[in-house]
Structure 1
Amino acid sequence: MTITSEEHILVINPGAFGEEVYDVLRELPFVASLTIIPADGYGGRSHPAREITAEEWARTTVLFTGRTLPPSPEAAPNLKYVQLYSAGSNQLHNMPFYHASNNVIYATASGTHGPVISEWVILMMLAFFHNSDYYPKWQSEARWGDDSEFKRPVIDQIGRTLGVLGYGAIGRQTARVAKALGMKVVAHSFSSPPKKERVEVAVPNSGDPDGSIPEIWYTGIEGLDDFFSSGIDVLVVAAPFTPDTAKIINRKTLAKLKGAYIINIARGGLIDTDDLVEAAESGLIAGAALDVTDPEPLPDGHKLWSVKNISISPHISGRFVGYENRVTNIAVHNIKQLRAGKPIINMVDKAKGY
């Protein structure tokens, strides 16, 4: 499929992103107009700060967006390509335009977050197993503490097993860093293990493009039980959120993960919150680090706030300086590919949900 010979690009620009990054779009010889509308919120959770006019929708051929789509296919008859700011697309799945726009190609920002979120995963893992929360406490008390006060023994990660549920860009980069720490990596993917070289536009030379890092691969729904029973010490939840993966971490799963530390950077709905709380409080699992929760935002008074071996952050692991540059690089690459009738990266498969 090719897109039109003259492009009219509409950018719904999240509030934290500098507009100058889109200058590269103005410089493309086939771009006739570029409209940038400020938005409130970050990345895939942003909303336009003003109403988009009928004229703006009507001429748009390329759309950069978090979760705002045209009101109807008739309102945006020229739209051919949508560049999302998020690594997933689940925020669109209930929108009528998404289901009705069969002639529109959607692409995610997969690859943008790999380095920063993998670093966050390692940060949380090491902070937990090194009891690092004691250090600022001791300093604030002007006291030379002692490791006898630690609530758990310090454990280094060499030789331990990292399980990656969802071996996309984030999972691949996390595996790469974990292997450098001396960890064994096992992986699960819902499709056949991707072991072929692929174009990495957002962060070249990152991740695990040929899929060589995992010592063991598990695939499909049928491979989940063996994956969860493979002796995982640290589980990274990085799978897309779909009807098939909703509450995939539950009482049954947690029993197979006995003693593991669970880190969720995907979507809160992948974990049954009540079952996780029960497992953490009973000591069935070592604990958890949640950058995403169900519900989200986590309301005041929710029981997750008070579980001592669960740490919570406000869906912030993917924030970093330069985010918009990487997303724009993906879009420029894909627009050029589409115009040449060539394959693109990160295209959303509506049947799979990601």
Structure 2
Amino acid sequence: MTSELTIHDLAGVLRTRPTVHLGDDVVPGWRGALATWALAHGLEIAERDATLAITARPDRTAGAAWVHSPYAGIEHLASALPDDVLLTRTTGTMPQRIAEYVLAWVLAERWQTARYLADSASGTWDPADPPAPPGRNGAVVIGTGTMGQAIARALAATGHRVTGLSRSGRPDDAFDDVLPFAQAHDAPAPGGSGTDVVVLALPHTAQTAGLITPQLLRAFDGVHLVNIGRGSAIRTDTLLHALDTGRVRHATLDVTEQEPLGPSSPLWRRPDVTITPHISGRTLPSDVVAALDEALTQIRAGVRPASAAARDRGY
């Protein structure tokens, strides 16, 4: 963790060398807004060796005392930067938009939206099998950070009882219960037998890769699994087996183990899988500007930014 003294030192460096480098991976349409922000705060754009580097690529951070990721994910930066470099990230409005995505697909699956769209397109009037009222209202959110909390609140608003799974099992007001991962493999299923929805809201770290194991999924029965975190959390063969055995009745995947998902993947050909191209939490340029603005204000006040990454955890 960056120390309080280092934050004060960084504030001094920003006064004597007020420079910022925009990495070539920064979305072209964002560069104007970021340059305007920099100039408004007395920061000069530099091609190299700047005090602040805005990038997600470790090879573009040379000389920077502060690196800001324009995205929430920091897996490429966390292990590559020296310990004395401050690393901050962007979340912004992403949690709310991801929560909306999860809620939209959970309700669409519950209300058999795909079936009624097909009936509408074919001119079929078939009320014989209407949407069943929710027989189970339990939801499990694996990952209780900012994203997981927003998802939990959205699901709770539609009557779900939400259990969170985290490394520590520390209680959080967004959840009815929070359990540690270590307890997740014990019977009965986390959240109880009434679990209907399982949401993966995990970052990519060495600890989360492959965390969703066949053993964990055996505790569930016919759940709707939604993954908005990182595709590495569940192996494709693990997911396919869970679908084939009925542990998962439907999977909505905004992220996959390999991205872009190749055309030969069996996931494309399954009617019990819905795939979207990693769009649930797209970062907005206004999010990046707001995150930088807040972090710069806090650094100049000698305070560790709220957006500083917990590098040992990978987020």
State the percentage of identical aligned residues: 26
Q: Deviations over 1:237-285 (max 9, x none)?
A: 0022222211111211110122211100011110021021121123222
Q: Does 1:345 align with 2:293?
A: no
Residue 183 of structure 2 aligns with an amino acid whose one-letter code is G
Q: Does 1:283 align with 2:246?
A: yes
Alpha-carbon shift at residue 156 of structure 1 (Å): 4.7
Residue 196 of structure 2 aligns with an amino acid whose one-letter code is D
Q: Secondary structure at the match of 1:57?
A: coil
Alpha-carbon shift at residue 64 of structure 1 (Å): 1.4
Q: Deviations over 1:265-319 (max 9, x none)?
A: 0111100210211211232222110011112211111111112211111111113
Alpha-carbon shift at residue 235 of structure 1 (Å): 0.9
Change (3 A) 1:228 1:87: farther
Q: Does 1:62 align with 2:52?
A: yes
Preserved contact between residue 157 and residue 182 of structure 1 (Cα < 8 Å): no
Residue 285 of structure 1 aligns with an amino acid whose one-letter code is V
Q: Does 1:242 align with 2:242?
A: no
Change (3 A) 1:15 1:123: farther
Q: Which residue of 2 aligns with 1:311?
A: 274
Tell me which of the two structures has the higher relative contact order, counting C-alpha pairs closer than 8 angstroms and 6 or more residues apart. Answer: 2
Change (3 A) 1:187 1:146: same
| Unmatched tracts of structure 1, length 5 or more | 36-55, 196-210
Instruction: State the number of aligned residues.
Output: 299
The TM-score with structure 1 as length reference comes to: 0.77
Distance 1:156 1:169 in 2: 30
* Equivalence map 1:1-354=2 (5 Å): 1-2=7-8, 3=10, 4=13, 5=15, 6-12=17-23, 13-17=26-30, 19-20=32-33, 22-28=35-41, 31-34=42-45, 56-58=47-49, 60-65=50-55, 67-70=56-59, 76-77=62-63, 79-92=64-77, 98-99=80-81, 101-141=82-122, 143-148=123-128, 154-157=131-134, 160-191=137-168, 193=170, 211-219=172-180, 221-225=181-185, 228-231=189-192, 232-319=195-282, 323-354=284-315
Preserved contact between residue 118 and residue 173 of structure 1 (Cα < 8 Å): yes
Distance 1:179 1:21 in 2: 37
Q: Secondary structure at the match of 1:256?
A: coil
Preserved contact between residue 249 and residue 270 of structure 1 (Cα < 8 Å): yes
| Unmatched tracts of structure 2, length 5 or more | 1-6
Q: Secondary structure at the match of 1:17?
A: helix
Q: Secondary structure at the match of 2:140?
A: strand
Distance 1:298 1:252 in 2: 25
Change (3 A) 1:190 1:63: same
Distance 1:33 1:327 in 2: 18
Distance 1:289 1:144 in 2: 26
The TM-score with structure 2 as length reference comes to: 0.86
Preserved contact between residue 162 and residue 186 of structure 1 (Cα < 8 Å): yes
Residue 224 of structure 1 aligns with an amino acid whose one-letter code is A
Alpha-carbon shift at residue 154 of structure 1 (Å): 2.3
Q: Deviations over 1:73-109 (max 9, x none)?
A: 7xx33x1111112222113356xxx24x222111122
Preserved contact between residue 137 and residue 160 of structure 2 (Cα < 8 Å): yes
Alpha-carbon shift at residue 233 of structure 1 (Å): 1.5
Residue 74 of structure 2 aligns with an amino acid whose one-letter code is S
Report the RMSD for the aligned CA atoms in angstroms. Answer: 2.4
Distance 1:85 1:216 in 2: 32
Change (3 A) 1:136 1:329: same
Distance 1:20 1:111 in 2: 16
Change (3 A) 1:157 1:93: farther
